[in-house]
Structure 1
Amino acid sequence: MPNEQHQDPLLPGYSFNAHLVAGLTPINKNGIYDFFVDRPEGMQGYIINLTRSGEGEVYYKDQSFVCHKGDYLIFPPGESHYYGRRANSEQWHHYWVYFRPRALWTNWLVWPNKIGKIGYFCPKRDLTEKLEKLFIKIVDIAQSSDMYSELLGMNLLESFLIRRMRSLSKLNEKNYDYRVVLACNYITENFNKLSQDDSFINQVSHYVHLSPSRISHLFKENMGVSISVWREDQRMNRAKFLLQTTPLSICQIAQELGYKDQFYFSRVFKNKIGLSPKKFRYVIYSKH
């Protein structure tokens, strides 16, 4: 039988092998969770923390800072984690959401640095309650057994990130070139009609009336990733949705997403998600 600590995301050893995991860590002085999280290499995805009560302390090399009620922290992939209850605080209760972002979120995840690459955000008073309720709802949804919980959680998280961006100065908001938006919509509506190799960029460029090099440059500038990487990410999101919500065979899903070879699709899916399509579907349905 697996070690119990590997089944509890609040204890060391949990794999976080998912696109969205969330919870509340109730750290009380001398309690079961009263230890410092120590991940020198960080994690594969992002984590956002929201302090609910008490105080936590975060260390980075020879620096440290204290997080208070209402503070949000974001730890990007690969950034070291070393944090816990502040010594003179009786508790540190904090909500957290671990996730692997959608490609569209790239610019929304760049927060002002506190120390290292650890980002920090404290909303203005008129937004505090709305954002906190939304963040807690993400945690609640992520912990439910509903087959749509991960998709709903990701959608709510996207809403949280958008609301945070809207709260910032207009100077910091990202305005997407309308031709990039057209390209995104065209790609997601025509997965099974576009070429499987990079020549699909020619099809996209023709649709938006730009040269392949120009749309590629604009796309990378606006989205933070190449057009090919973005398409692959969206195809994987769609594949997960179809595996979760339809009885379509893996071959049919591969065809709908524009993969001529089912086995190639399965290899790409496993490389991106960590499970084969068959195993992913089995895990999803075994929860219900």
Structure 2
Amino acid sequence: MAKKEMNKQSNPLLPGYNFGAYLVAGCTPIEKGKELDFTINRPNGMKGYIINLTIKGKGTVFSGKNAFDCSVGDLLLFPPSAVHYYHRSIEAETWFHQWIYFRPRALWSDWLAWTDTLNHVGRLKIPSQEIYQDFLNLFQQIEREYNSGDLFSEEMSMCLLEQLLIKCFKLDPSNKQRLLDPRILSACHFITDNLDKNHKISEIADHIHMSPSRLAHLFSLQVGSSIIKWREEQRMIKAQHLLHTSGAPIYHIARQLGYDDQLYFSRLFKRYTGLNPSNYRNSR
């Protein structure tokens, strides 16, 4: 299904856009008195995350005692269900901000736990012009990739977004102790890159040059789940995405995710989501 066909409102900058994809990226150029000069008010938040970088002017987030301004070089992270209430600051003529809406991969959870938050909204300040330019380039590269329509544009955008989130995480010195062991991160990538294969723990361990017992222990300690259960969760997340964004038959999606038995896949999917695959696909 094409991106535009997924939304009744085709412009993500205007009310009514569906934000149903894994990733949507853009830049909002707000100028005083122009079409986009209105308050975004989503009291129930959104289903995914939004990361936002101010590149010109000033914006105001929230109201009353919780209100704060964001200016050039300020990063914001709105998690799912966090209240969205923001607009151009009354002190500024403009507020331009790059933004990315996304559904995260499970292995990103640590990188999305920012230390400085207000009403669940994460805040970071980029410390130098050089680092700001690096962040801006990444935001713009993700936007270009998303809008290119090329084969694998969404996958490429997600890879670039992963780099961006790691850079955000590294800006906060208090996060150094929470980074995943590089070997566990490598194992997570290996699993998600091969969701159609039922690799044994020993095969994953060989890939990252670790003993199977050590891998199983460290993975459970750092990720909070066994390898098999975590892989199953990744498959269910991917299944939801494929059911909503492709017209592929359910048996084909099941095989893409390593399940030869469509009936078993359907039972598993219902256990995770409460709906069988057909009903889930028709639920939008």
State TM-score, norm by structure 2: 0.75
Match of 1:122 in 2: 125
The one-letter code matched in structure 2 to 1:192 is K
What is the CA–CA distance in structure 1 between the aligned matches of 2:148 and 2:121, rounded to whole Å? 29
Residues 1:63 and 1:15: Cα distance change in structure 2 (over 3 Å): same
SS at structure 1 position matched to 2:50: strand
Q: Partner letter of residue 164 of structure 2?
A: F
Aligned residue identity for 2:159: N
1:131-210 mapped onto 2 (5 Å cutoff): 131-169=135-173, 172-177=176-181, 180-181=184-185, 184=188, 187-188=191-192, 189=194, 191-193=196-198, 208-210=211-213
CA distance in 2, matches of 1:81, 1:54: 19
- Look up the equivalent residue of 1:54 and give its one-letter code: G
Match of 1:39 in 2: 42
- The aligned residue for residue 230 of structure 2 is 230
Q: Distance in 2 between matches of 1:71 and 1:185?
A: 30
Residue in structure 2 matched with residue 86 of structure 1 by the alignment: 89
TM-score, normalised via structure 1 length: 0.74
Which residue identity lines up with residue 10 of structure 1 in the other structure? L
| Helix, strand or coil at the partner of 1:7 | coil
Shift of residue 224, structure 1, vs aligned partner = 5.5
Listed as ranges, the gaps of 5+ residues in structure 1 are 195-199, 281-288
Amino acid in the other structure paired with 1:156 = L
- Could you say which residue in structure 2 is the equivalent of 1:283? none
Moved more, 49-58 or 249-258: 249-258
1:51 aligns with 2:47: no
1:193, distance to aligned residue in structure 2 (A):
3.0
What displacement does 1:135 show?
1.2
Q: Is the 8 A contact 2:48 2:101 kept in 1?
A: yes
Distance 1:128-1:177 versus aligned 2 partners, 3 A rule:
closer
Match of 2:19 among 16, 19, 39: 16
Whether the aligned pair in 2 keeps the contact of 1:165 and 1:173 (CA below 8 Å) is no
In 1: Cα distance, 2:44 partner to 2:241 partner: 31
1:73 matched residue in structure 2: 76
1:53 to partner: Cα distance: 0.5
Two-structure CA RMSD over aligned residues (Å)? 4.1
Matches of 1:157 and 1:136, distance apart in 2? 11
Residue aligned with 1:47, SS: strand
Look up the match of 2:98: 95
In structure 2, the CA distance between the partners of 1:122 and 1:226, relative to structure 1 (3 Å rule), is: farther
CA distance in 1, matches of 2:112, 2:166: 10
Q: Is the CA contact (8 Å cut-off) linking 2:184 and 2:219 kept in structure 1?
A: yes
Query: How do 1:191-270 residues align onto structure 2 when only pairs under 5 Å count?
Result: 191-193=196-198, 208-210=211-213, 215=216, 218-223=218-223, 227=227, 230-235=230-235, 251=251, 253-262=253-262, 265=265, 268=269
SS in 1 for 2:87: strand
Distance in 1 of aligned mates of 2:265 and 2:254: 6
Identity %: 41
Deviation at 1:104, TM superposition (A): 1.1
Whether the 8 Å CA contact 2:202–2:211 is kept in 1: the answer is no
Which 10-residue stretch deviates more, 160-169 or 88-97? 160-169
In structure 2, the residue matched to 1:197 is none
Task: Mark the CA change 1:34 to 1:155 in structure 2 (over 3 Å): closer, same or farther.
Answer: same
Q: Is the 8 A contact 2:170 2:176 kept in 1?
A: no
CA distance in 1 between partners of 2:38 and 2:258 (Å):
48
1:29–1:58 distance in 2 versus 1, CA, 3 Å? same
